[in-house]
Amino acid sequence: MNNDQQSLKPKLNAPLKQSGDISEQARSGIKFHFDNKYYHTPRIYDAILLYQVGDLSVDSGFSIGNHDQFCYEISYIASGSGYYWSNDRCYPVKAGDIYLSLPGEQHDGQADRDDPFRYYYIGFGFDESQSEYGSLVHIQRMFDQVKMPVTADKFGIYSPFLGIFNEMINLKAYSDLLIKTYIVQIITFAYRNFFDSWERQYTRENGTDKNYSPIYEIIHYIDSNLESETIIQLIQLEEELGYSYSHLSRLFSQTTGSTIKQYFNRKRFEKAVQLLKDSTCSITHISEKLGYQSIHTFSKAFRKSYGLSPTEYQQMIGNIKKGTID
């Protein structure tokens, strides 16, 4: 931490506030604040609990104030720069960055003196009692495993934020449904950004004797054998890497929040989408190429993941290429 960062470091014995609260002293440094709080009565969107969402633009040197984080919070730096802290660790942030705060952390933030930030934020939780939670389990586990809380946005997460603000300001029929859709998009985009960032940490190029981990070997093995029928037998990782499959699976889950099988299926679906876009590949050929037992098995798995069959997807791609879909 350099001297400038150290001078900005918050006092950890400052009065604790709820996630996202702004101290009264700091309010004078706010240019604009569109804040919507639901701490005591969260808004329920299936298995997602919305506690807070807003847009904050501040003056030079503005500080949020140290507070306990009681929920997950995703912040998107819309402009400017500054610093965020999680548990006394400082992370510089700039326009285009996403920052993830986790429940139980102590959190603070401060705007840069020369280029103060404006950021969008959303505080939320997961309701494990809801049937829809099953589709979010992996996202929550991945969030809980994030070690580097800041990453650059590559998926346009600002757009659903703006969508939420627009719906809240201009309430119309089905605004609540659109807000739910935007919330899911924000959480999913954040997951994708952090998952991609995690994958880059475990590429083969990053593997060295000093920092060796079986994780990048697992990823390399799966990525290199996606089009081989033998990849179905993931138990072969035991022979390839010299560890028991149960040990590898446990290590992979602890590191990534997902199982080896889940990672393999995700990469296999990504490869399937790539092949389906190639008009020279038949669905039967793709099914065999990716090691599915039958075209029916492949179609069923693809529909479960994407909501449409491989045939429907290929037809849609064909229509787009013909210009019949905008």
Whether 123 and 233 map to the same domain: the answer is no
Whether 24 and 141 map to the same domain: the answer is yes
Question: CB 140: neighbour CB atoms within 10 A?
Answer: 18
Whether 71 and 192 map to the same domain: the answer is yes
CA-based angle 197:199:204, to the nearest 5?
A: 130
Supply the pLDDT for residue 203: 60
Whether 26 and 141 map to the same domain: the answer is yes
Whether 137 and 212 map to the same domain: the answer is no
- Sheet of 106-111, strands arranged across: 67-68, 106-111, 81-86, 89-94
Low-confidence ranges of the chain (pLDDT < 50): 1-19, 205, 207-210, 326
Whether 39 and 176 map to the same domain: the answer is yes
In terms of DSSP H, where are the helices of the chain? 3-8, 137-145, 158-169, 175-201, 214-224, 237-241, 245-256, 260-276, 283-289, 295-306, 310-322
Instruction: Give CA–CA dist 218/202, Å, rounded.
Output: 9
Residue 11 DSSP symbol: P
Domain span at residue 297 reads 205-322
Could you give phi then psi for residue 226, rounded to 5 degrees? -60, -35
The residue type found at 190 is: A
Whether 77 and 142 map to the same domain: the answer is yes
| Bridge partner residues of 152 (DSSP) | 97
CATH number at residue 234: 1.10.10.60
Of 121, 69, 74, whose CA–CA distance to 100 is shortest? 74
Supply the pLDDT for residue 6: 42
Domain boundary among 200, 232, 247: 200
Instruction: Give CA–CA dist 242/165, Å, rounded.
Output: 52
